[in-house]
Amino acid sequence: MKVLLLGSGGREHALARALSRSPSLTRLLILPGNDGMAHEGQRVTDIALADHAAILAFCRQEAIDLVVVGPEAPLVAGLADDLAAAGFAVFGPSKAAAQLEGSKDFTKSVCNAAGIPTAAYATFTDHAGALAYLRAKGAPIVVKYDGLMAGKGVTVAASLSEAEEAIAALYANEPAAKVVIEEMMEGEEASYFCLIDGETVVPFGSAQDHKRVFDNDRGPNTGGMGAYSPAPVFTAALEAETLARIVRPTALEMVKRGMAYRGVLFAGLMLTAEGPKLIEYNCRFGDPECQALMLRFEGDLVQVLAAAARGKLASVQVALQPAHAVGIVMAAKGYPGDYARGSVIRGLDKAAALPGVTIFHAGTKHVDGAVTSHGGRVLTVCATGNSLLDARNRAYAAVAAIDWPEGFCRRDIAARGLARLGQA
Ligand code: AMP
Ligand code: GLY
């Protein structure tokens, strides 16, 4: 099959590698990809992801058999609808179904209708109403912008004044902003991934991300500074409960609404004392969770994603091996704030040759034969192992072999999982 992969980050590099190793792949095209993943397929750099007409024309011209959409923005913008209407198989939900990521208020309404455990909430489109509710509820409390904000639209406020500031900032930016205010949930977080086509749900495994920029979960939120899979905290019993009470009811509710979900559904979970509760859904794989998951995926990813795209997921099972994978994000100093581009990264070949190691590129550019940084999150340095400790140690050995003074990473990726397993 001839596959077109859309996106350019570390997640897409991991998808590209798994797709390129699929026996049923004949050719992989990547739009736009980045320099560090160029060897996985052929890059297409002259079409914008927002230009649906140009993407359609390209799919026709190249007779693409399957389109795999990495990031959420094209899905929320309806790219899957446009491709499906033209007869192309596409892995990724319709615009209506992508509201599960695109609108927190929509997701809450699905949770209400299907009885899915999540934080109690209220939605507002005016500053005064939001403030009155906030003051009635008190802190701690969580304030969320309703639409896509690349992970930056959420404030978990310990004090009332912090929450008031967050609301003021949202309404200053957009006078009729849709804002969700919800109860703060307590527990450990886990990311859970399922392939879905209509009523069929096929688990794709769990992971744990590290959202804060500095060790011990300090500093501002980022897109994710590292991940490991599986998440030991997410036991088989919790997985069964999550499927029964959260994921399956969501798939059924979406079918009932005439918005059957097709693609990967990423559930951000809070494992509370009362059981797993939904924090949010994403309509794509996580980044960097995908990097760890893909290193454990065994089989023909093209076939699996095509089955989901064509409504034939019932015949598919996903096998994950080896036991553990860890991915450490190396970012440019300053990220998630301002950072410089263009510093040279050395030692990548040496690092990649270490046992169990795979390095995914998120933002690199090849300049005169040198690999240079070209983004905030630049690399995901990954390793697999038979134990979480093995995988973690191998990944940090690879980090140590990389010579990039202008970069940094967290030093405590997987520490929580290791503690839980008694391997710390
Ligand atoms: P979201 O973009 O909805 O995933 O929120 C980003 C992060 O904010 C989550 O990963 C959680 O760490 C935190 N968060 C969001 N909602 C809640 C909540 N209701 N209670 C506690 N923490 C939350
Ligand atoms: N790593 C979290 C996300 O992809 O949203």
Pocket residue to mutate for ligand 1, from 121, 142, 143, 221, most atoms within 8 A of Cβ: 142
Q: Residue 143 Cα, ligand 1 centroid: separation in angstroms?
A: 9
Contacts of 109 (CB under 8 A, 6+ apart): none
Which residue has its alpha carbon closest to ligand 2 atom 3?
286
pTM for this model (two decimals):
0.95
List, for residues 1-45, the tens digit of each pLDDT value. 999 999 999 999 999 999 999 999 999 999 999 999 999 999 999
Q: Which residue has the tokens 């969700």?
A: 180
Angle at 13 between CA 8 and CA 225, to 5 degrees: 85
Which residue has its alpha carbon closest to ligand 1 atom 1?
280
pLDDT at 151 exceeding the cut of 60: no
Indicate the number of domains in the chain: 4
pLDDT band for position 152 (50/70/90)? low
For the packed helices 127-137 and 160-173, what is the interaxial angle rounded to 10 degrees? Answer: 170
Q: What is the pLDDT of residue 393?
A: 98
Whether residue 111 lies inside any domain: the answer is no
Say whether both 316 and 193 belong to one domain.
yes
Atom of ligand 1 nearest to the CA of 186: 21
Whether residue 112 lies inside any domain: the answer is no
Q: What is the pLDDT of residue 147?
A: 74
Which candidate, 364, 374, 367, 380, places its Cα nearest to that of 339?
374
Give the CATH number for residue 81: 3.40.50.20
Whether residue 44 lies inside any domain: the answer is yes
Say whether both 314 and 193 belong to one domain.
yes
Say whether both 133 and 201 belong to one domain.
no
Atom of ligand 2 nearest to the CA of 288: 1
Whether residue 171 lies inside any domain: the answer is yes
pLDDT band for position 387 (50/70/90)? very high
Say whether both 299 and 336 belong to one domain.
no
Distance CA 120, CA 112 (A): 10
Which residue has its alpha carbon closest to ligand 2 atom 4?
286
Angle at 59 between CA 57 and CA 61, to 5 degrees: 65
Whether residue 36 lies inside any domain: the answer is yes
pLDDT at 400 exceeding the cut of 90: yes
List, for residues 179-195, the tens digit of each pLDDT value. 999 999 999 999 999 99
Atom of ligand 2 nearest to the CA of 289: 1
Distance CA 204, CA 193 (A): 5
Q: Residue 369 Cα, ligand 2 centroid: separation in angstroms?
A: 31
Q: Find the ligand nearest to 266 CA.
A: 2
- Domain final residue, candidates 320, 339, 364: 320
CA distances from 311 to 92, 198, 325 (A): 12, 7, 30
Distance CA 177, CA 188 (A): 30
Which candidate, 330, 332, 346, 380, places its Cα nearest to that of 360?
380
pLDDT band for position 164 (50/70/90)? very high
Residues of the domain holding 155:
120-183
Say whether both 204 and 277 belong to one domain.
yes
Name the amino acid, one letter, at 105. Answer: D
Give the CATH number for residue 177: 3.30.1490.20
For residue 135 the two structure tokens come to: 């003051």
Give the CATH number for residue 362: 3.90.600.10
Which residue has its alpha carbon closest to ligand 2 atom 2?
286
pLDDT at 150 exceeding the cut of 70: no
pLDDT at 421 exceeding the cut of 80: yes
Q: What is the mean pLDDT of the chain?
A: 96
What is residue 243's DSSP assignment? I
Q: Tell me the mean pLDDT in the region 329-345.
A: 97
Atom of ligand 1 nearest to the CA of 104: 3
- Domain final residue, candidates 294, 320, 346: 320
Q: Find the ligand nearest to 183 CA.
A: 1
Say whether both 305 and 404 belong to one domain.
no
CB 105 within 8 A of CB 275: no
